[in-house]
Amino acid sequence: MPPSMYSIAPLVAAAAFLIVLGFVSGRGSESRSAWTLTAALAAIFAAWSIHAVLEHGLKAVWDEHIRNAWANQIWFDLLLAIGTAYALLLPRARASGMRAFPWLLLIACTGSIGLLAMLARCQFLESNRRTRGEA
């Protein structure tokens, strides 16, 4: 029997993760088009999340996090990672003129999708500022 999409998708995601890390480490997020990659990642993950919700329902999100100790650990890890990323991104976002509360609300409702969208918007605003020659 061929492997299922659900056993292949994590491997594809891990490979994409390494490629993006290489891109960011090599060219950096200072690239003028960095925001397009971040926005594309947000859109792809949003599409996958919509698929998961349509297939398993919204209640499954919570059910997966209360299944056992590992599920709890993954939930805690997600909360810590998103909280840390938000705290690190917030000063840049504010410096770019972004208001915190709408983004916090989006992140609370969508997790990494909202965080990626916030980062893409911040990168876009920073890129435009650099293009115009502002500091």
In the predicted model, is pLDDT for residue 134 greater than 80? no
In the predicted model, is pLDDT for residue 24 greater than 70? yes
Domain assignment present for residue 25? The answer is no
Residues in the chain: 135
pLDDT value for 2: 63
pLDDT value for 21: 84
The C-alpha atoms of residue 105 and residue 90 are separated, in whole angstroms, by 13
How many folded domains does the chain comprise? Answer: 1
Mean predicted confidence (pLDDT) in 93-121: 97
| Res. 29 pLDDT band, cuts 50 70 90 | low
* Structural domain that includes position 99: 31-131
Give 9-18's long-range contacts (Cβ < 8 A, gap of 24+).
9/48
Mean predicted confidence (pLDDT) in 38-64: 94
Q: How many percent of the chain have pLDDT more than 70?
A: 93
pTM, to two decimals: 0.86
Domain assignment present for residue 16? The answer is no
DSSP conformation class of 99: -
The C-alpha atoms of residue 19 and residue 46 are separated, in whole angstroms, by 20
Domain assignment present for residue 1? The answer is no
The C-alpha atoms of residue 77 and residue 24 are separated, in whole angstroms, by 22
